[in-house]
Amino acid sequence: MSLKLLIANKNYSSWSVRAMLVLDHFGIPYELVRGRVRSVDVTNEIATEWITDWSGAGRVPVLRDGDLTVWESIAIIEYLADKFPAKPIWPANPRTRALARAVSAEMHAGFASLRNEMPMNARRHYEDFRYGAETAADIARIQQMWSDCLARSGGPFLFGAFCAADAMFAPVISRFRTYGVKMDSVSAAYADAVWELPAVKAWLADAAAEQTVIAKYEL
């Protein structure tokens, strides 16, 4: 098997999940390599030494295809789309594909307040979690994007059928559920559709079974 995907874990590592869901949903064979992650220790940090053996960026995920190494989730997804053109990883229509890439790029580059205030933790659920105005603005923007895309496509996913853009937002849905974010009806229906996907269910089951605890992500 030529493809290998290096991740840290499935509970906390939202970027790992994005690339992994594309591989799993589209039935692309690969070997999953789990890096060593510190549990509770004096720094509460994820160890990075093993990551730099794969990529100088020192971050997960990292994809290896033979002697080629690709890092950054969105770059990995683009490489997979090029390598497996028969797989509908992006929408076939060029205009629709451009929109799917635009919302994915905005997710990749933005929403810093949401990331910082609501760290990824698929195992947890908090009641009455309070977040600030900047995070509220991030949440509103995300739901606006979802509503706009769903209005164009008719759903159930952002661009009709599941594609890379939905994989980019799956960890956001996890955050919304972890922190009890109230969604409008359109966004809630979309979130439910993503949550019912076999690849998503498998991810969540594996995340629940992991034993690693990183204290700074356990609010």
Tens digit of each residue's pLDDT (9 = 90 or more) over 80-129: 999 999 999 999 999 999 999 999 999 999 999 999 999 999 999 998 89
Q: Among 146, 173, 213, 215, which Cα is nearest to 18's?
A: 173
Within-domain flag for 120: yes
Residue 192 and residue 100 share a domain: yes
| pTM score of the predicted model | 0.91
Helix (H, G, I), strand (E, B) or coil at 101: helix
d(Cα 71, Cα 81) in Å, to the nearest integer? 15
Q: What is the pLDDT, as a whole number, of residue 190?
A: 98
Question: What are the pLDDT digits (tens) for 128-171?
Answer: 899 999 999 999 999 999 999 999 999 999 999 999 999 999 99
- CATH of residue 13's domain is 3.40.30.10
Contacts of 144 by beta carbon, 8 Å cutoff, 6+ apart = none
Q: Do 76 and 99 share a domain, yes or no? A: no
Contacts for 156 with CB less than 8 Å, ≥ 6 apart: 189, 190, 193
The pLDDT value recorded for residue 40 is 38
In a domain, 208, yes or no: no
* Domain residue limits at 40: 3-85
- Average pLDDT for residues 193-216, to the nearest whole number? 92
- Residue 210: pLDDT band by 50, 70, 90 thresholds? confident
Q: Are residues 74 and 113 in the same domain?
A: no
Residue 76 shares a structural domain with residue 101:
no
